[in-house]
Every structure is written in C-alpha cells, then in structure tokens.
C-alpha cells in the first residue's frame, strides 16, 4: 500500500526557515517524480515544486523560486522541502504527491500545516 507521510510543519516567524519531510512507502520511490503542492486556508491548490526520480532535475513555482529547495534521499525514501525567508503568504497546508508520467498525482499525503506569523 502506497503511503506518504508529511512532517515538519508548524509555526514560524516571517523571515524564518522550516524543513518539511515526506516519508514514502509501498512503491519504488526512486522511480517516480515527486512534488509539493500547497493550499492556503480556504483557498485553492497551488503546485510548489517538483523533482525527478534521481533528484537531478528540480522545478519551482515563481512564487517560491530562490527561497525554497526541494530534495530527496532515495536511500531513506524521503522527500524534503527546505523553506527559507518565509512570508505570511506561505501559510498553507503542504502536501507531498507522487507523480506518474502521462497520468498525474495518483497518491497524496495527508498534509502538514505551515503557519507563518509573528
């Protein structure tokens, strides 16, 4: 059974940093692109960042480029999102999701809440 379990969310002050983790199981982690998708309270979905199976290629939304870094550890089957210079508008539930080429996000985690506030 595929499982994605996010952790690392919490309350952080503006300008601060946070690292999210997503522990994956039930599939060959290194074979799949992975992404982070976020949802601000009461708002729609926003794709944030994606990474290839090897970790060699990364992609970012313009809203986080230069502040966030996606990475993965294929030995630990874990996806990461390092978030720096956080802003109030980064407050959201952050989901990790497994991407299947020519299909889409077929599995999602339960989300972890990041709150940026003083």
Which residues contact other proteins by CB under 8 A? 35, 37, 44-47, 50, 59-62, 95, 97, 102-106, 108-111
Q: How far apart are CB 46 and other proteins at their closest, in Å?
A: 7
109 near 95, Cβ under 8 Å?
yes
| Encoded tokens for 36 | 């982070």
Which residue, 60 or 80, has its beta carbon nearer to other proteins?
Answer: 60
Q: How far apart are CB 111 and other proteins at their closest, in Å?
A: 6
Q: Which residues pair with 20 in a beta bridge?
A: 81
Q: Count CB-CB contacts under 10 A for residue 15.
A: 11
How far CA 114 is from CA of 1, 11, 34, 56, 83, in Å, comes to 27, 6, 19, 27, 10
Q: How far apart are CB 100 and other proteins at their closest, in Å?
A: 8
Which residue, 14 or 115, has its beta carbon nearer to other proteins?
Answer: 115
Which residue, 63 or 82, has its beta carbon nearer to other proteins?
Answer: 63
Which residue, 35 or 78, has its beta carbon nearer to other proteins?
Answer: 35
Q: How far apart are CB 96 and other proteins at their closest, in Å?
A: 10
- Give kind and range of the element (H or E) at residue 99: strand 92-100
- Sign of the four-CA dihedral 67, 41, 38, 6: positive
């Amino acid at each position: 059974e595929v499982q994605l379990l996010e952790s690392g969310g919490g309350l952080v002050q503006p300008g601060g940093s946070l690292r999210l983790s997503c522990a994956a199981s039930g599939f060959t982690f290194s074979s799949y692109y992975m992404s982070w998708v976020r949802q601000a309270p009461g708002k729609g979905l926003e794709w944030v960042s994606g990474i290839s199976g090897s970790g060699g290629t990364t992609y970012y939304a313009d809203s986080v480029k230069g502040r966030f870094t996606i990475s993965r550890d294929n030995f630990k089957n874990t996806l990461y999102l390092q978030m720096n210079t956080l802003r109030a508008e980064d407050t959201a539930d952050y989901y990790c999701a497994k991407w299947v080429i020519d299909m889409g996000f077929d599995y999602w985690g339960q989300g972890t809440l990041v709150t940026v506030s003083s």
